[in-house]
Every structure is written in structure tokens, then in C-alpha cells.
């Protein structure tokens, strides 16, 4: 499992999945302290949804 320091973009995901990684941590790049401090759950939820959709699309493209 790769943890931390990952960019939530297709190129990074392709590298990870190509290397056989099945789990990764991308929280610090998607959920920043300012969002947590202001409690901006709409943006947090939207970012999480976009990231999950990108992961699903990337995995589908590799299949």
C-alpha cells in the first residue's frame, strides 16, 4: 500500500495500478486543513466523489 504524497490524477493512478498497488492514501491532497477547519463538507464530499470516479474510470481503462 502506498500511503501519502500521491497526486489524485490519472497518470499517478496508472503508475500505481501498473505497479500492482491495490490501496493508496491521497487524503492530504484532497482534504486540506482549511476545508476541515471551515467544515466545508460539500467540497470535501465532491472531491471524494471525483476521486472515486477517477479511480473507477482508471481501473476500467486498464481492464
- Residues 1-52 have pLDDT tens digits of 666 667 778 888 888 888 888 777 776 667 888 999 999 999 999 988 998 8
Residue 61 has pLDDT above 80, yes or no: yes
Domain map (residue ranges) of the chain: 2-62
Q: Where are the beta strands (DSSP E) in 1-63?
A: 2-3, 24-25
- What is the predicted pLDDT for the residue at 4? 62
CB 4 within 8 A of CB 25: yes
pLDDT of residue 5: 65
For the chain, helix (H) and strand (E) counts, in that order, are: 4, 2
- Output the pTM of the full model: 0.73
pLDDT of residue 53: 92
Amino acid at each position: 500500500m502506498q500511503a501519502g504524497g500521491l497526486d489524485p490524477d490519472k497518470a499517478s493512478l496508472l503508475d500505481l495500478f501498473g505497479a500492482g498497488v491495490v490501496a493508496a492514501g491521497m487524503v492530504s491532497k484532497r482534504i486540506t486543513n482549511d476545508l476541515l477547519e471551515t467544515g466545508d463538507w460539500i467540497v470535501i464530499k465532491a472531491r471524494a466523489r471525483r476521486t472515486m470516479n477517477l479511480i473507477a474510470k482508471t481501473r476500467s481503462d486498464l481492464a
